[in-house]
């Protein structure tokens, strides 16, 4: 599943540069994760790097965007090959 940042975010700025897919950006109040770009670092690392560096553990799975490892790998392949759309599914 894609990840989300909860309102416990303290805007510490450590997650954004860790994301290899550039899925994290500053929102109006806290950082946000673009679920179309989030692969939980599948294809890049063994674990989500934003989760690893978050000092307040505010990055969790998005229950509205459940994806298995195979789907995340498929999304990674689309993102890294320059495809214009993310697979639906």
pLDDT, one tens digit per residue, over 14-50 is 999 999 999 999 999 999 999 999 999 999 999 999 9
Q: What is the CATH number of domain 3-80?
A: 3.30.70.20
Q: Facing residues of 36 across strands?
A: none
pLDDT, one tens digit per residue, over 36-86 is 999 999 999 999 999 999 999 999 999 999 999 999 999 999 999 865 555
Per-residue pLDDT, 88: 54
Rounded-to-integer distance, Cα 39 and Cα 44, Å: 9
Q: Report residue 2's pLDDT band, with 50, 70 and 90 as the boundaries.
A: confident
SS3 45: coil
Domain ranges of the chain: 3-80
Dihedral angle over CA of 78, 79, 81, 83, nearest 10: 70
Question: Where are the strands (E) in 1-89, listed by range?
Answer: 3-5, 24-26, 31-33, 59-61
Q: In this structure, what token pair is assigned to residue 30?
A: 């806290």
């Amino acid at each position: 599943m894609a990840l989300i940042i909860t309102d416990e975010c303290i805007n510490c700025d450590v997650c954004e540069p860790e994301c290899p897919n550039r899925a994290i950006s500053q929102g109006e109040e806290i950082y946000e994760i673009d679920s179309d770009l989030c692969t939980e670092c599948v294809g890049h690392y063994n674990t989500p790097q934003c989760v690893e560096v978050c000092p307040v553990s505010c990055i969790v799975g998005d229950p509205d965007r459940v994806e298995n490892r195979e789907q995340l790998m498929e999304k990674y392949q689309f993102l890294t090959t320059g495809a214009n759309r993310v697979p639906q599914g």
